[in-house]
Amino acid sequence: MLIIGSHVSFGKEQLLGSTKEAISYGSTAFMFYTGAPTNTIRKEIDKKLTTEAIKLMQENNIELKNVICHAPYIVNLGNRENEEKYQFSIDFIRNELKRCDEMGISSMVLHPGNAVGKITKEEGLTNIVNALNQILDGTTKCKILIETMAGKGSECGSTIEEIAYIVNNTNKQDQIGVCIDTCHINDAGYDVNNFNEYLDKFSTLIGLNKIGCLHINDSKNPKDSHKDRHANIGKGTIGFNPLIDIIYNEKLSSIPKILETPYIGDTDEDKNRLYPPYKFEIAMIRNKEYNPNYFADIRDYYQKNK
C-alpha cells in the first residue's frame, strides 16, 4: 500500500482535527506541527481527542506509525552563542518529544540548525550533536528525524556527509533517523533524476534503515540553487516523473511520503493561498498520471464546496 499524505494543521481539535483533514485528502499518512511552527507556545495534549483521533485513523487505513510530527523551525540547535537560549531549545525539543509520546507518535522531523554569526559549519554541527545527546536522555521514546536541508544561508545538513556526521555521532542510535526532502536535496545540488545514486551514497555513509520519512516537493529553483522554495507536484524544476520514481522506489515502500507543497490561489498570480492542493496531488500520484489542468480542478472543487 502506498503511504502518502500531506502536512495538515493541528488546531483546536488537535490530532483529531489533523486526522479529519488528512482523510479529506485521501491520505494514508500525515504530518503536523503540535502548535505554530514559528513559536514555542504549546497547549496540553487532550487525551480524549487523541483517543478519538486514533480510532478514526484505524477506520480509515491510517496507521499511527505513519503519522509524523514536525518540530518548529525557529529552534536552532546549531547556535550556542547564548547558553540560556541553547538550553531552552534543548528543553523545548525534549518536551515536544514528550508530547509526541503522549499521543503515541513515533517520529518527529527536525531541521538540524544554522551556523549563524561568527561560528563555522563545524562548530554548528558540534552544537547540534551535543544538543541531540542532551535531548535524547532516555526519558522519551519518539524518534528524531533530521531533515536534509537545501543549504540556504548558513543551514547545516545540506550534504549527506553533514547528515552522516550528525546521525553517526548521536549516542541513542535507536532514536535518530533522517527525513529526506526532495526539494531540499535538489536545491542542495543532488541529481534527483539519479535518486538511486543518492541512495547508494546515503546507504554507505548513513544506512538506508535510518530513513524514516520522505518529504515530496517539487522545487521552484534549479539544482544547486540553495534556495528552498517548494513547488506543486509537476510544476517545478524536478517534474512529475522523477518524483513518481522516488515515491515508488522499492527500497522506500514502507516509508511515509509527505507533501509540503504550497496552497494555490484563485488564479495563478493570486498570492492569497486559499486552496490545499493535496487531494488532487495525491490522486495524481496514485494514478501515476499527471493532469496538466489540476490547478483548475482544485479551484473548481473548492469554489463549489465553499
Q: Closer to Fe ion at the Cβ: 99 or 215?
A: 215
Query: Which of 21, 96, 155, 181: binder of Fe ion (CB under 5 A)?
Result: 181
Q: Does 21 bind Fe ion (CB under 5 A)?
A: no
**C-beta neighbour count of 118 within 10 angstroms:** 7
Q: Closer to Zn ion at the Cβ: 14 or 281?
A: 281
Q: Closer to Fe ion at the Cβ: 215 or 220?
A: 215
187 binds, among Fe ion, Zn ion, none (CB under 5 to 8 A by kind): none
Alpha helices by DSSP H, listed for the chain, are 14-24, 47-59, 83-103, 121-135, 160-168, 182-188, 195-205, 240-247, 278-287, 294-304
Find the part of the chain contacting Fe ion (CB under 5 A) among 58-66, 192-200, 211-219, 262-270. 211-219
281 binds, among Fe ion, Zn ion, none (CB under 5 to 8 A by kind): none
Can you say whether the dihedral through the CA atoms of 99, 102, 108, 112 is positive or negative? positive
The closest of 131, 193, 191 to 156, measured between CA atoms, is 131
What mask, x for binding Zn ion by CB under 5 A, covers residues 211 to 250?
A: -----------------x----------------------
Query: Whole-number minimum distance, CB 147 to Fe ion, in Å?
Result: 5
228 binds, among Fe ion, Zn ion, none (CB under 5 to 8 A by kind): Zn ion
Distance between CA 163 and CA 206 in Å, rounded?
8
Alpha helices by DSSP H, listed for 26-82, are 47-59
Q: Does 215 bind Fe ion (CB under 5 A)?
A: yes
What mask, x for binding Fe ion by CB under 5 A, covers residues 133 to 172?
A: --------------x-------------------------
- The answer to whether the beta carbons of residues 124 and 86 sit under 8 Å apart is no
Distance between CA 185 and CA 110 in Å, rounded?
16
235 binds, among Fe ion, Zn ion, none (CB under 5 to 8 A by kind): none
Q: Closer to Zn ion at the Cβ: 90 or 181?
A: 181
Write out the binding residues for Zn ion, residues 120-139 only, by CB under 5 A: none
215 binds, among Zn ion, Fe ion, none (CB under 5 to 8 A by kind): Fe ion
Name, in order, each residue with C-beta under 8 angstroms of 119's C-beta and a sequence gap of 6 or more.
Answer: 78, 79, 80, 81, 127
Q: Does 162 bind Zn ion (CB under 5 A)?
A: no
Name, in order, each residue with C-beta under 8 angstroms of 49's C-beta and a sequence gap of 6 or more.
Answer: 13, 14, 15, 16
Query: Whole-number minimum distance, CB 260 to Fe ion, in Å?
Result: 5
Alpha-carbon torsion, ordered 76, 79, 85, 86, to 10 deg: 90
- The answer to whether the beta carbons of residues 261 and 230 sit under 8 Å apart is yes
Q: Closer to Zn ion at the Cβ: 143 or 220?
A: 220
Q: Does 96 bind Fe ion (CB under 5 A)?
A: no
Q: How many residues bind Fe ion (CB under 5 A)?
A: 3
Distance between CA 125 and CA 164 in Å, rounded?
11
Q: Using CB under 5 A, list all residues that contact Fe ion.
A: 147, 181, 215
Q: Using CB under 5 A, list all residues that contact Zn ion.
A: 228
